[in-house]
Amino acid sequence: MARITFIGAAGVVTGSKHLLETDAGARVLLDCGMYQGLRDLTERNWIPPPVDPKTLDAVLLSHGHLDHCGYLPALAQQGFRKPIYCTAATAEVAELVLRDAAHLQEDEAARAAKHPERGLHTTPLYTDADVDVVASLFSSARYDDMRDDIAGCRFCLKDAGHILGSAIIEVYFESKKLTFTGDLGRYGRPLLHDPSAIAQSDYVIAESTYGDRLHPKNDPQEDLCAVILAAQQRHGVLVIPSFAVGRAQEILYAIGRLQAANRIPRLAIYVDSPMAIAADAIMERHPEAMRFDLKERFGPGDTAIGAQSVSNVVSSADSIKLNDLRSDAIIIASSGMASGGRILHHLRNRLPRSNDTVCFVGFQGPGTIGNQLINDRGSVRIFGLRVEARAHIVKIDGFSAHADRDELLRWFGGFQNDPRTYIVHADPKPAASLAAAVQQRYGVIASPAAVAEVVEIS
C-alpha cells in the first residue's frame, strides 16, 4: 500500500511538503517549502519534519518559490544528500531565491542577537553554506521526459505556467499515477505557457490558493498604463514594489509593449534589484520554459525584457542616488510586499511626498507594510521609525501568477477520468470551496488535506 503524508501546506498556503511512499520502497518528498507570513506560521519552520531526511530517496521540486523550496537547506543541514529533481530553470531560480533567504535570515539572526528582549531566534534556520549543499544536489529534468532515476517509481515534469521553470509533477508507481500540481499558473499570459493539461491520473494533489476567488477580468497592462499616466500627471515618481523573480520581468515586458505602442511618455526606468537583474538573465537562458526566446526577440544580453530606457541599479550607492529623482521616472524594487530589501529605503523616502505614487502589483500578506499601505494606513513603521504615507497608493491585481477559481476548474476539466483529489496549499475556506466545486462539476471525489494526515492509496 502506497501512502501520502501531508506534512505542510495543508490548511495553509505555505510550507509545501508531501511525502509519497510507494509499495516498492520509494520515499519521495514532493516539494520542501518554508512556512512564511505571521509568526505562528514561521515558527513551524523550527520543528523538524516528521520524516528522517536521511531515509528519503529524492525530492521532486515543483518550482523555485520559497514556500515550495525554502526548507531544502534545512533538510540538507539535517543530513539529506540525495538528488533534488526539478527543471534546469527551477534549479537556477531556487538557488537565487535560497541564497537571498539565507542572507536575510543571517541578518535577522544578527539583529535578534542585539535585541535579546524581543525573544526572536538568534541563529539563522540555515546559512549560505547550507545552500551550497542544496545547489550541489539539484539534478535537472526536461519537461515531458519520463525519468526512472528513483528506484520504485518513475516521474515526469510538465509545464505548470506559474513561474519560470515551474512544473506539475507526475509520479508513476505500481500501475498507478499521482499528479501534484505544485502551483498552477494562468491561461493566456504573455511570457509563460498555459498550465499543461493532464488527461489521466489516479490521484491528484492540487493547490487551491485562489480556490474561492476570481482575478479581475481587466488587462493588467492597461491598468499599468493608467497608473503610469496618472503618476506622470502628478509630476512625481512611480515606485513599484515587485517580486524580483517573475513579476519584475512581467512589469518590464508590459512597459516595453506600452512604449512600443507610444501609449506612455518617455520615462527613465530603474530596476533597483540585483536579484531581479539575475532573474532576467535566468529567463534569457531558458527559452524552453518561455512562450518565446528572449534572445531571438530582443537580442542577447537584453535584461530589460524589451523595455527601453532601463537602467539596472547594482550598487547601494547608485540606489541611494535615486532618492534625488523628482519626476519622470519609474523605480522597480523588491521585495514585492515591502517586507525587506531596497524597496524599504524608497518607501521611507517617497511615502511622505504627495506627488509620488506607489503601485503594488501582487498579493500583500497580512502584517506586511504593503498590506498596511493598501488598507489606507496613514503611516507605517520602516526601520523602527514612523513614516507618513502621503503618496498616492494604488494596487493592480491582474498580474497574479496563480490560477484563480475558474482557471483551476478549467485545469481539472482536462482529465478524462475521475482522479481522487486532495486539496492543499490553501486556507480552509478556499480549499473546501474548490473541493466542493470540483466534485460538483466533474464528479470526482475531492477533499481538503489536513496537516499530518496520512492517506493510504493503492
| Dihedral angle of Cα 102, 106, 108, 114, to the nearest 10 degrees | 180
Write down the least CB distance from residue 94 to Zn ion, Å: 11
Residues 52-91 binding Zn ion (CB under 5 A) are 65
Specify the residue, 138 or 270, whose C-beta has the smaller distance to Zn ion. 138
Nearer to Zn ion, 65 or 346 (CB): 65
183/407 with CB nearer Zn ion: 183
In the complex, the smallest distance separating the C-beta of residue 205 from Zn ion, rounded to whole angstroms, is: 15
Give phi and psi for 383, each to the nearest 5. Answer: 50, 40
**Grid cell of 445 as nine digits:** 471525489
Nearer to Zn ion, 204 or 331 (CB): 204
21 touches Zn ion (CB under 5 A): no
Q: Give the whole-angstrom CA distance, residue 124 versus residue 99.
A: 13
In the complex, the smallest distance separating the C-beta of residue 248 from Zn ion, rounded to whole angstroms, is: 15
* Of 183 and 194, CB closest to Zn ion: 183
Residues 379-438 binding Zn ion (CB under 5 A) are none
Q: Which residues contact 129 (CB under 8 A, 6 or more apart)?
A: none
Strand intervals (E) in 286-342: 310-312, 329-333
Between 306 and 325, how does the x/- string for binding to Zn ion read (CB under 5 A)? --------------------
Partnered with residue 246 across adjacent β-strands are none
CB of 114 to Zn ion, least distance (A): 33
- Answer for the pair 205, 18: CB distance below 8 angstroms, yes or no: yes
Number of residues this chain uses to bind Zn ion (CB under 5 A)? 2
CB 159, CB 151: distance < 8 Å? no
Environment class of 188 (CB within 10 Å of its CB; exposed 0-12, middle 13-18, buried 19+):
exposed
Residue 282: strand, helix, or coil: helix
We find the least distance from the C-beta atom of residue 405 to Zn ion, in angstroms, to be 17
Enclosing H/E stretch for 156: strand 154-159
Q: How far is the CB of 247 from Zn ion (least distance, A)?
A: 11
**Within 13 Å, how many C-alpha atoms sit on residue 325's CB side?**
23
Let me know the angle formed at the C-alpha of 336 by 103 and 40, rounded to the nearest 5 degrees. 65
Closest to Zn ion by CB, 93 vs 264, is 93
| Residues of span 144-203 touching Zn ion by CB under 5 A | 183
Distance CA 182, CA 212 (A): 18
**Residue 366 Cβ vs Zn ion, minimum distance, rounded to whole Å:** 18
What is the total residue count of the chain?
458
Minimum CB distance to Zn ion smaller for 182 or for 306:
182
Tell me how far, at minimum, the Cβ of 228 lies from Zn ion, in Å: 27
**233 is written with which cell numbers?**
500627471
* Among 180, 169, 177, residue whose Cα is nearest residue 202: 177
By beta-carbon proximity to Zn ion, the closer residue of 17 and 65 is 65
As measured in angstroms, the least distance from the Cβ of 350 to Zn ion is 29
Comparing CB distances to Zn ion, the nearer of 143 and 298 is: 143
Grid coordinates representing 198?
A: 493532464
Q: Where on the chain is the footprint of Zn ion (CB under 5 A)?
A: 65, 183
